[in-house]
A and B are shown apart, each in its own frame.
Chain A
Amino acid sequence: MTDSPYILQAKNLTKIYGENVIFKDISLDVKKGETIVIIGPSGTGKSTLLRCLNLLTPVNSGQIFLEGEEITAHGVDHDQVRQKIGMVFQNFLLFNHLTALGNVMIGLTKVKKMPTEKAKQKALHELERVGLADRAHHYPAQLSGGQQQRVAIARALAMDPLVMLFDEPTSALDPELIGEVLGVMEQLAHEHMTMLVVTHEMGFAREVADRIIFMEKGRIVEQGSPEELFEHPQHARTREFLGKISELYGKKEKK
Chain B
Amino acid sequence: MISFFEFFVRFLPDLLSGMGMTLLLTAEGVLAGFILGLAATLARTYGGKFWRNLAIAYIELFRGTPLLVQVFLLYYGLPGLGITLSREWSAFLALGLNSGAYQAEYLRGSILAIGEGQMLAARAIGMSKWKAVFYIILPQALRLAIPAWANEPVSLLKATSVVFLIAVPELMTRAKLIASRTYDPISSYLAVAVLYLVLVYLVDAAMKWLEQRTRLPGLSAVNESS
Chain A positions within 8 Å of B, measured between CB atoms, are 54, 56, 79-83, 86-87, 89, 91, 93-97, 106-107, 110-111, 138-142, 152, 155-156, 159
Contact = CB atoms under 8 A, between A and B. Distances in A.
Interface of B is mostly: helix
A95 B216 contact: no
8 contacts: A82-B126, A89-B124, A97-B216, A106-B136, A111-B125, A139-B216, A140-B218, A142-B217
Contacts of A159: 125-126
Contacts of B117: 89, 91, 93
B134 to A, nearest CB: 9
B126 A83 contact: yes
A111 B216 contact: no
A80 B128 CA distance: 9
B3 interface: no
Contacts of A80: 126
A83 B219 contact: no
A135 to B, nearest CB: 12
Contacts of A110: 127, 131, 135
Contact of A54 (B122, B124, B216): B124
Contacts of B124: 54, 56, 82, 86-87, 89, 156
Given A83-B126, A141-B217, A159-B125, 9 more contacts: A79-B128, A82-B126, A83-B125, A95-B140, A110-B131, A139-B217, A140-B218, A152-B121, A156-B124
A54 to B, nearest CB: 7
Contacts of B127: 79, 107, 110-111
A97 B139 contact: yes
Interface in B110-141: 117-118, 120-128, 131, 135-136, 139-140
Contacts of A56: 120, 123-124
B112 to A, nearest CB: 15
Given A95-B118, A96-B140, A110-B131, A142 B218 contact: yes
B225 interface: yes
B143 interface: yes
Contacts of B123: 56, 79, 82
Contacts of B135: 106, 110
A82 B119 CA distance: 13
Interface of B: 117-118, 120-128, 131, 135-136, 139-140, 143, 216-219, 225
A139 B219 CA distance: 9
Given A107-B125, A107-B126, A111-B125, A139 B218 contact: yes
Contacts of B225: 96, 141
A111 B136 CA distance: 13
A79 B124 CA distance: 8
Contacts of B126: 79-83, 107, 111, 159
B118 A141 contact: no
Contacts of B125: 82-83, 86, 106-107, 111, 155-156, 159
**5 closest A-B pairs (Cβ-Cβ)?**
A141-B218, A83-B126, A93-B121, A142-B218, A107-B125
Contact of A94 (B121, B131, B217): B121
Contacts of B218: 138-142
B143 A97 contact: yes
A89 B122 CA distance: 12
Contacts of B216: 96-97, 139, 141
A82 B128 CA distance: 10
A117 B118 CA distance: 25
B174 to A, nearest CB: 44
Nearest to A99: B217
A115 to B, nearest CB: 17
Contacts of A82: 123-126
B131 A93 contact: no
Contacts of B139: 97
Nearest to B134: A110
Nearest to B127: A111
A95 B120 contact: no
B219 A95 contact: no
Nearest to A87: B124
